[in-house]
Amino acid sequence: MENELKQLIIDALDLEDISVDDIDSHDALFNEGLGLDSIDALELGLAIRKKYNVKIDAEKEDVVKIFSSVSALAKYIESARS
């Protein structure tokens, strides 16, 4: 699931110079980690909804935690789908 999500991030955000192996599952997705921004979060949220039929509500108080890393995102998607 994590590698699948990494590929989704690369494809959805057109990160041409990055491969799945370049993304650490536990590194931050925003700021000092992968360096994503709020626009990237919106695009990623839409891609997740399309691929996994899971909606991540931006108003949720734990949205920062959900998007904190690939690992956290994978756990959230898996729990939302079950």
Q: Indicate which CATH number applies to the domain containing 41.
A: 1.10.1200.10
The answer to whether residue 23 scores a pLDDT higher than 90 is yes
Number of domains in the chain: 1
Is the distance from CB of 44 to CB of 12 less than 8 angstroms? yes
Expressed as residue numbers, the domain containing 50 is: 2-81
Quote the pLDDT of residue 82.
87
pLDDT at 60: 79
**For residue 17, what pLDDT is reported?**
92
**pTM for this prediction:** 0.91
The rounded distance, in Å, linking the Cα atoms of 39 and 24 is 21
Question: Per-residue confidence at 42, pLDDT binned at 50, 70, 90?
Answer: very high
When computed from its CA atoms, the radius of gyration of the chain, rounded to whole angstroms, is: 12
The answer to whether residue 31 scores a pLDDT higher than 90 is no
Rounded Cα gap, residues 81 and 21, in angstroms: 26
Q: Which residue has the tokens 């995102």?
A: 73
